[in-house]
Structure 1
Amino acid sequence: MTDLSQAIAQLVDSLSTLSPIPHQLSVCFLWPEEVDPIEWLDAQPIYPKFYWQTRDGREEVMALGQVKTFTDPAAAENVLSTNQRIWGGRSFDGRTARNQRCLQSFFFLPQIEVARQDDTWTLTVNLGDDLLKTQAALSKVTMAHPTLSPPECHILSTEHSPSFPDWSAMIDRALTHIEQTDLQKVVLARKTSLSLDRPVSAAQLLKASRDQNRANFHFMLALDEKHCFVGSTPERLFNRHGEDLSTEALAGTIGRGKSAEDDLALAKWLLNDSKNVYENRLVVDDISSRLASHCQTLTIEKTPHLVRLRKVQHLKRAIDAALNKGVSSATLLDTLQPTAAIAGLPREDAVAFIVENEPFARGWYSGSVGYLSAECSEFCVAIRSALMMGDSLQLFAGAGIVPGSVAESEWKELDRKMSTLLSLLTPIPDSTLEKRAG
């Protein structure tokens, strides 16, 4: 079986004899077992770059370079050829008066896509008018893959936005708003900014998270060397294959126990807690009402089931639909994002409250990331995520506020959710420090 270097050489040879020029070329190859795909991607000097691994672990993709970029997914869907996929996502509040600097959406048709489906690896190049540009990109691909060390560092400072007193005041305002207006639920978030004693790369954090946080989507979007958005999220926005759609309501949270007995007791409490069950039902009702005009049939799981992750447990209900003919992935993005699980209900009222009360712009946090194509599309909700810039790191988490919410317990929920990534930053061992000092 061809290895990656041979597959690249094969495609380079093909490019010199193409007539007419196709939209895409692909070749299967054998991935070397000793090479970690995240380490390989980190070594590539080509931007933008995107990493994607599905929640079930069956698909893994590294996308590099850009043939075209899109700020409108609907426009992209109109020009994509068969089997072409664009990668990227939509932010929560980009290109608004509150957050002019962040893009509303960014998608790119990659020059190079390296993908695994189960155990089968494929190298694909998307071709534009300039074949020399494609050849140049392929020539930059390196098989070097320096081993990434764990994300070891010391946290010099931690700053919460909002602080706990401001969080408490914000929760009080939200509960008053819920009592006095049509607002039923609002999801309020916290940004935690860490200053580190040394740079930690997004790839280091992503690799550690992929290895420890199973049953999650893993993603990384790097527009350049300095700014990278990375995350490991349990929540799917939607998966579409033709006219078959799968989505879900993931809302309602409790921590993990210190023992199997504790875990079971917490799980039973969550499954029977009226506040959390109500919060989950609000999300189900919102999704089903939003999809109603776009689908022929809608099937909703009758009662929530439990999803156990490394640090938390969630309530989840699966939702499946048969779409009407002609419903695009861009339409589904508009319809489902932002979900009630990360904004609230009614959506417009909740977003207005968030914009007026949260002390920071969310940007990519609680947006969506993934891919779309004419044949199929999949997006996850960008929670359990971090914005990384060298020796500074911003973590984000949110909590659904409904009648009965208490500021202190919701703050602890934010801590539990942030620990998904925060717990991966391990202190530098004393022996390492002594060697460096020596």
Structure 2
Amino acid sequence: MTELIQAIGRLCDALSTLSALPPRLSVDLTLSDHVDPIEWLDAQPLFPKFYWQSRDGAEETVALGQVRTFSNPYSAELVLEDGQRIWGGRSFDGRTERNQRCLQSFFFLPQIELSRVGETWYLSLNTGDDIGKARAALNKLSDSTSTLARPQCDILDAEHSPSYPQWSSMLEKALAEIDSTDLQKVVLARKTSLTLDRHISAAQLLKASREQNSANFHFLLALDEKHSFVGSTPERLFNRQGQTLLTEALAGTIGRGKTAQDDKALAQWLLNDPKNIYENRLVVEDIESRLLPNSIALTVEGSPHLVQLRKVQHLKRNIEAELHNDVSSSDLLDMLQPTAAIAGLPRDNAVKFITENEPFARGWYSGAVGFLGRERSEFCVAIRSALVMNDTLHLFAGAGIVPGSEPETEWKELDRKMSTLMSLLSPVLDPLPFEKKRSMLPMSNAIDMEQKAG
């Protein structure tokens, strides 16, 4: 940790010698391969905490402490200085009548950032207008970390919300509304709450996921010691560089095969399945309709291509736009969230159906997480995610419901998506008794266990 200690010292020296305090101070450093930013974040006493790694792995940031917080992205954008990033996101249903406890939006200008661009590391300080507070933040940084092992725990209990019978009824109701109203698609979700025999940290889960789930955005948002939202998502909401926008339609899913031959057959089926192609097209058309009035030019990939992840495969079409000069990143959040890929179409109808029928509040799940910057902003869609609360782990997943959707097939899709994070949990010693474990698992996994046991 010598490099970090020296960088902290250089920032402290700069605070003491500068006659005029700039809004941001930054020094570069060489960070040893033995220093894991996630482990460093876990050891720090400053909150909020935020971790971000871009999908291509080219950027990584730990953001700590707060100079200022913001309840909406519009006010956050107004105070940005060159080089600064404001981190946070927007929930799916916070500050609504249904979910008063969750914030609608939370953004913060951090006191400290440890960031990597390519192979170069930087330690930065957003100074604010209080030198004493800035110096105190630097002095609080810890230079000691401990290795975070893969989460090891026994699952004592699991509760699905909705249960499978409730899921079947909810899906049938959605199909009836699609058949008889303007609703074209609705994305229905499940929360699976796991009671564990011991505390696991969000940082543990994130580190294990980063190692196993490549080609994803990785994020962690912790407002305090007791609640952390963490995820590894394949889906970008948008990347905005100047007035150039990159976004995508990621919709249509199948699992991975057990052999290369099976995998290829599943991929070909997905690429040619009318239901999944239709679901992807709906997302494309929704994004087009929102961007066209705000764009000089808009280009959509002609046909879906395949994205293969560790547990699932998706259909994806890339979309690029040249925006009008008056379109801000805050405007884009309003335009694009929630997308048809995580809510449905038409948006208002789908959100209304979700609010009236899903038995839990989504909170940060299926919201947007990322950063605002003057020249560049980027947000991912907060799927493949979990809420970590001491010895309880809440996992979330959703499935797009369109004509032809079947309850059992979509339930299995939820299982596959949740396995992105659930499969990272290792039993401590002996597995739970067969009947106990079977009663806790998602339906499709329990059936598999029964077949293997038989």
TM-score (norm 2): 0.94
Q: CA–CA distance in 2 between the matches of 1:184 and 1:98?
A: 24
What residue is the counterpart of 2:217 in the other structure?
217
What residue is the counterpart of 2:360 in the other structure?
360
Specify the SS of the correspondent of 2:56.
coil
1:306 aligns with 2:306: yes
Deviations 1:162-198 (A, max 9, x none): 0000000000100000000000000000000000000
What residue is the counterpart of 1:100 in the other structure?
100
Q: CA–CA distance in 2 between the matches of 1:402 and 1:60?
A: 37
Deviations 1:349-371 (A, max 9, x none): 00000000000000000000000
What residue is the counterpart of 1:435 in the other structure?
none
What residue is the counterpart of 1:283 in the other structure?
283
Residues 230-245 of structure 1: pairs in structure 2 closer than 5 A: 230-245=230-245
1:270 aligns with 2:250: no
Q: CA–CA distance in 2 between the matches of 1:209 and 1:127?
A: 33
Same amino acid, percent of matched pairs: 70
Residues 367-378 of structure 1: pairs in structure 2 closer than 5 A: 367-378=367-378
Q: CA–CA distance in 2 between the matches of 1:400 and 1:310?
A: 20
CA-CA distance at 1:384 after TM superposition:
0.3
- Matched pairs, number: 430
Alignment gaps of 5+ in structure 2 = 432-454
What residue is the counterpart of 2:3 in the other structure?
3
1:339 aligns with 2:343: no
Q: CA–CA distance in 2 between the matches of 1:380 and 1:137?
A: 29
CA-CA distance at 1:374 after TM superposition:
1.1
What residue is the counterpart of 1:423 in the other structure?
423
Q: CA–CA distance in 2 between the matches of 1:217 and 1:116?
A: 15
What residue is the counterpart of 1:199 in the other structure?
199
1:20 aligns with 2:20: yes
Specify the SS of the correspondent of 1:351.
helix
Which structure 1 residue ranges, 4+ long, deviate > 2 Å from structure 2? Answer: none
What residue is the counterpart of 1:434 in the other structure?
none
CA-CA distance at 1:429 after TM superposition:
3.5
Q: CA–CA distance in 2 between the matches of 1:124 and 1:323?
A: 31
Specify the SS of the correspondent of 2:205.
helix
CA-CA distance at 1:323 after TM superposition:
0.8
Deviations 1:111-154 (A, max 9, x none): 00110011000111001111111111101111211011110100
Specify the SS of the correspondent of 1:45.
coil
CA-CA distance at 1:19 after TM superposition:
2.3
Specify the SS of the correspondent of 2:84.
coil
Residues 35-434 of structure 1: pairs in structure 2 closer than 5 A: 35-429=35-429
CA-CA distance at 1:430 after TM superposition:
5.1
What residue is the counterpart of 2:447 in the other structure?
none
Deviations 1:39-88 (A, max 9, x none): 11101111100000001001000000000000110111111111110000
CA-CA distance at 1:409 after TM superposition:
0.2
Specify the SS of the correspondent of 1:16.
helix
Q: CA–CA distance in 1 between the matches of 2:143 and 2:300?
A: 46
Deviations 1:202-244 (A, max 9, x none): 0010000000000000000000111000000000000000011
CA-CA distance at 1:17 after TM superposition:
2.3
Q: CA–CA distance in 2 between the matches of 1:33 and 1:213?
A: 20
Q: What residue identity is the alignment partner of 1:275? A: K
CA RMSD of aligned residues (A): 1.0
Q: What residue identity is the alignment partner of 2:48? A: P
Q: CA–CA distance in 1 between the matches of 2:22 and 2:361?
A: 42
